Amino acid sequence: MTLGAGLGKQGAGLGRPGAGLGARLDAATKGLPAPLAVLDLDALDANAVDLVRRAAGTPVRLASKSLRVRHVLTQVLARPGFAGVMAYSVREALWLVGHGVHDVLVGYPSVDTEALDALAADPVAAAGITLMVDDVAQVDLLAQAAARHGTDGAHGARGARLQVCLDVDASLHLRVGPWSAHLGVRRSPVHSPREAAELAGRIAERDGVHVRGVMFYEAQVAGMPDSDLLVRAVKRASVADLDRRRRLVVDAVQDTLGHPLTLVNSGGSGSLESSAGDPVVTEVTAGSGLYVPTLFDHYRSFAPRPAAYFGLDVVRVPAPGYATVFGGGYVASGPATRSRLPRPVAPDGLLLTGREGAGEVQTPLRTRGQDLRVGDRVWFRHAKAGEQMERFDTVHLVRGDRVETSVPTYRGEGRTFG
């Protein structure tokens, strides 16, 4: 299977749930037992093309946590416009490099000393992996691993120095007199150019560690749908703040280090245009925009084409107007709200019940006029992208009304990284 076949017929609405979706997926997966996961390759291809278009020439780094299928990762990486992976674990990064991925940015700090030792002991991995830091305590662990394994390139030892990237807080800080607000996620403690320069200077004092870049993840722009006027106002203010602050941070860090940065990462699937439009940004990151889970249904920046689904079978009909499917309790991370629940999409008109929601072993549905019988299949979408794949060991890649191939997820390869 090669992603990218048949792109000439893609449309903005391709893959949207509709009257024909259930019939098509039913035909493709006939004979396959549920619960099962599928990816619609036509929608996935169209989404990949759209991500590259929106990035407008800036390379797109793939966020592996939003995919968690190595086959899909490598196939998309082979396409023009994509370059490198953003991993979420050092162990995952080591595994990917061992399978031929040459450029992995770990998007989160790590205190996994065993994995850091394995990285420091492997010159190929040390050259291909960049670690994320926002605190000198994290850096000390890296320097200690480098010292134990002789990876300080300055002394001509067995490998390159460990490469690091500074995670700079991209949230919007507002202050009016005594009133202040933090709009965004709670990630890095490093926010200002001065704080970034100070951290870079302290890293420069340590042997075996080299600062090669900075990262900004504007979650309040990339991860929030354009649901109302207030959200859109916050997004505009955040983009304006970052357009100014990114350059100041990069200049401050470069002045402190005395060498240029080769990596300035920013953005997410929901903010590719604004991030790629900043000349200081060398790459943007995206992942969820390939699968398009339900949390991405209300963005103005792109037309959602859902590509990831999971199918569950009706196992009983407890009362008129209801049907119960086996499984389904695949609730997404984040605040415990209805938006984190999976959504039935085919047949049309089905609803989760307010009392039971998505169940651990069974999920009752209100059928609202649909005549569902024991053995019928119901198709759902997950609220987040990669988290669906943690529930399945295999994903079936569907094109049209047939399964083109079936491949293992991370879980199917025996890999769970957190």
- Walk along the chain (418 residues) and give the pLDDT tens digit of each residue: 556 543 333 333 344 445 599 999 999 999 999 999 999 999 999 999 999 999 999 999 999 999 999 999 999 999 999 999 999 999 999 999 999 999 999 999 999 999 999 999 999 999 999 999 999 999 999 999 999 987 554 444 444 589 999 999 877 766 666 776 665 667 788 989 999 999 999 999 999 999 999 999 876 555 556 566 666 666 676 777 788 889 999 999 999 999 999 999 998 887 888 888 899 999 999 999 999 999 888 777 778 799 999 999 999 999 999 999 999 999 988 888 888 999 999 999 999 999 999 999 999 999 988 899 999 999 999 999 999 999 999 999 999 999 999 999 999 999 999 8
Q: Please check whether residue 278 lies inside any domain of the structure.
A: yes
Domain count, the chain: 2
- 384: amino acid identity, one letter: K
Q: Residue 76 and residue 176: Cα distance in Å, rounded?
A: 45
Q: Please check whether residue 125 lies inside any domain of the structure.
A: yes
Strand partners, 344: 380
Q: Please check whether residue 418 lies inside any domain of the structure.
A: no
Domain that holds residue 405: 7-40+302-413
Distances (CA, A) of 316 to 353, 362, 365, 370, 398: 15, 10, 11, 14, 28
Same domain, 256 and 327: no
Nearest by Cα to 145 from 171, 125, 170, 165:
125
Q: Distance from CA of residue 106 to its chain's centroid?
A: 12
Same domain, 275 and 345: no
- 414: amino acid identity, one letter: G
Same domain, 361 and 403: yes
Nearest by Cα to 210 from 163, 143, 168, 250:
163
Q: Residue 287 and residue 86: Cα distance in Å, rounded?
A: 9
Q: Are 146 and 216 in contact (CB under 8 A)?
A: no
Looking at 254, 288, 322, the residue that finishes a domain is 288
Burial of 191 (0-12, 13-18, 19+ CB in 10 A): middle
Q: Distance from CA of residue 396 to its chain's centroid?
A: 20
Same domain, 130 and 234: yes
Q: Distance from CA of residue 257 to its chain's centroid?
A: 31
Q: What is the pLDDT of residue 275?
A: 87
Distances (CA, A) of 340 to 74, 75, 304, 355, 382: 28, 29, 18, 15, 8
User: Given the structure tokens 């800080």, which residue do they identify?
Assistant: 173
- Which residues of 2-81 form beta strands (DSSP E)? 36-40, 60-63
Q: What is the pTM of this model?
A: 0.89
Same domain, 213 and 179: yes
Give 130's Cβ-side CA count (13 Å radius).
23
Same domain, 284 and 314: no
Q: What is the pLDDT of residue 296?
A: 86
Residue 251 phi, psi dihedral angles, 5° rounding = -60, -40
CATH at residue 170:
3.20.20.10
Nearest by Cα to 339 from 384, 390, 274:
384
Strand partners, 234: none
Same domain, 15 and 116: no
Looking at 288, 322, 346, the residue that finishes a domain is 288
Q: Please check whether residue 128 lies inside any domain of the structure.
A: yes
CATH at residue 32:
2.40.37.20
Q: Residue 104 and residue 82: Cα distance in Å, rounded?
A: 13
Q: Please check whether residue 78 lies inside any domain of the structure.
A: no
Looking at 230, 260, 288, the residue that finishes a domain is 288
Same domain, 228 and 128: yes
Residue 177: partners with Cβ closer than 8 Å, 6 or more residues away: none
Same domain, 157 and 236: yes
Q: What is the pLDDT of residue 24?
A: 97
Q: Please check whether residue 55 lies inside any domain of the structure.
A: no
Reported residue count of the chain is: 418
Peptide linkage before 304 cis (omega within 30 of 0) = no
Q: Please check whether residue 231 lies inside any domain of the structure.
A: yes
Same domain, 283 and 374: no
- Retrieve residue 182's tokens: 């933090």
Same domain, 264 and 336: no
Q: Residue 388 and residue 290: Cα distance in Å, rounded?
A: 13
DSSP 200-230: HHHHHTSTTEEEEEEEE--HHHHTS---SHH
Q: Please check whether residue 318 lies inside any domain of the structure.
A: yes
Q: Are 270 and 222 in contact (CB under 8 A)?
A: yes
Same domain, 98 and 242: yes
